[in-house]
Structure 1
Amino acid sequence: MLILAISIVLSSLLLAGCTSTSVSTIYLLSLSYTTPSTSHPNAAQVNPSISNTFSHLVSTNSTTPSLEVRVGYMGFCMPNPDSGWICSRHASNLAHLLNTTQPVSSDPLNLLWIAQNFQSQIVFDGLMFSTVPLVFIAILLLATFPGWHEEEDSEGSEREVKPFPSRPVSYLVMALLTLASLLIFVSVFWQHISSSAAVTMGQSLSYGTVRGKVGTVAAVLGWATVFLDILAAVAIFIMIMTIRVLAETFG
């Protein structure tokens, strides 16, 4: 029950990433401007001069915009003009703030718009939302398992005993945790693949003027949740098999 409770907390933190400044470090993808490299064009580039076009768009008077956009499951964050970070559920709110406080050159390639498209078209949080109630129901069912209590044996002496839990309830808990483990694994695996692909394509399509980064904290939270759910499911399976062996041996 403790393992599953920790799992719910971790998945909740992951889902809440970038919805407020307190969780601005929990993000799936980060996009920021960087100084383009001066390396020679690759032989596969049919139009090598396009990289210079992007360099001129991003760099103005030999300076590079300092904007960084972080994308979470339900929010976005960017640096606050004063200090720290500012976050919002909607990228349009941050774009409006950027337009009123900074010049247009602060986001020449529309990173906020790209981040919004990434969240709306690629990121999917439905599977992760589905695991939370499944794990919570499993915790409630585990709370019905009998605990230790004292009984008198045939000789009149007291001893501590713990009855076997209900077999149908045990099977139901195992089914719920197995389904939750499968859903969270698919969700986190999709999160990792999509973020990594977006980083690679973003850097390539911007010809080195945009730097992408996969969120380390979000990846750790996601895979830790997967591990805890699978661990709980395996523990329930071992308990069921142990009870079955004991029942067949002494029954």
Structure 2
Amino acid sequence: MTASADRTACGLIRSQLLLRHGILGFFTTRGGGVSPPPFDSLNFATDSDDAPDHIRQNIDIISAKAPLPCPPHQARQVHKSDLIWCAGNGHMHQIDADILLSRDTDAPVAVRTADCLPVLLADPQSRIVAAVHAGWRGTADTVVRAAVTAMVEQGARPERILASLGPCIGPCCFEIGEDAADKLAASSPGAENQIFTHPLRADLAAINRLQLLDCGIIEPHIECSFLCTVCHPDQFYSFRRDGHHSGRQLAVVAIPSST
């Protein structure tokens, strides 16, 4: 499992794994936008007290810097494993989905996070991409497995799928209760080894990595940022740290028309 670390001044962390295979994928930081405190400044939280116009401007900023052919598709995230297939110009879908998939060139898909794990998936050969929102509930519900299954049903192959795991709450800060620990430990072979005690904590990224491996994705095709959102208040929003005053990062993936 490798690390992704190409950061730009506009608040983007580009996935090097996806880039090497001709896929556009990135995770935003909190810098380079227009939102005022406490949402400063590259905020994408549509349910926050930030002005909707600020969020639209932030979308325009990353669309220009990435660059994206159009705004990304988004949906209402509910910590489950429902999915939506997206095509054409992006917009906010008024349906519940924590997995957004596309097989349409230049149709970016995105998820919002602030401690939950963003996972970007792509099969360059079948030209299918997915953005996955994996909080602890989604992880316990094996949301990444649902995403991989949906991709395979449309022609992707597990051994070809690339997976980029973005910034999320790390095991240093992710304290959980016994119920969450039990559900996460049962979510994948070996997941119990990613639950720690004194205090009770979990490694969300590591558990999702195990689930991806169990789906047939190979180790060299998985990368992780290894960045904890709680530990870096200057770089990332964190709901665990800041509560309802927290903004949201955005994780975006697309297959450019030039590939």
TM-score class, shorter: under 0.3
Q: Could you say which structure has the higher helix fraction?
A: 1
Higher relative contact order (Cα pairs below 8 Å, separated by 6+ residues): 1
Bigger radius of gyration: 1
Q: Could you say which structure has the higher strand fraction?
A: 2
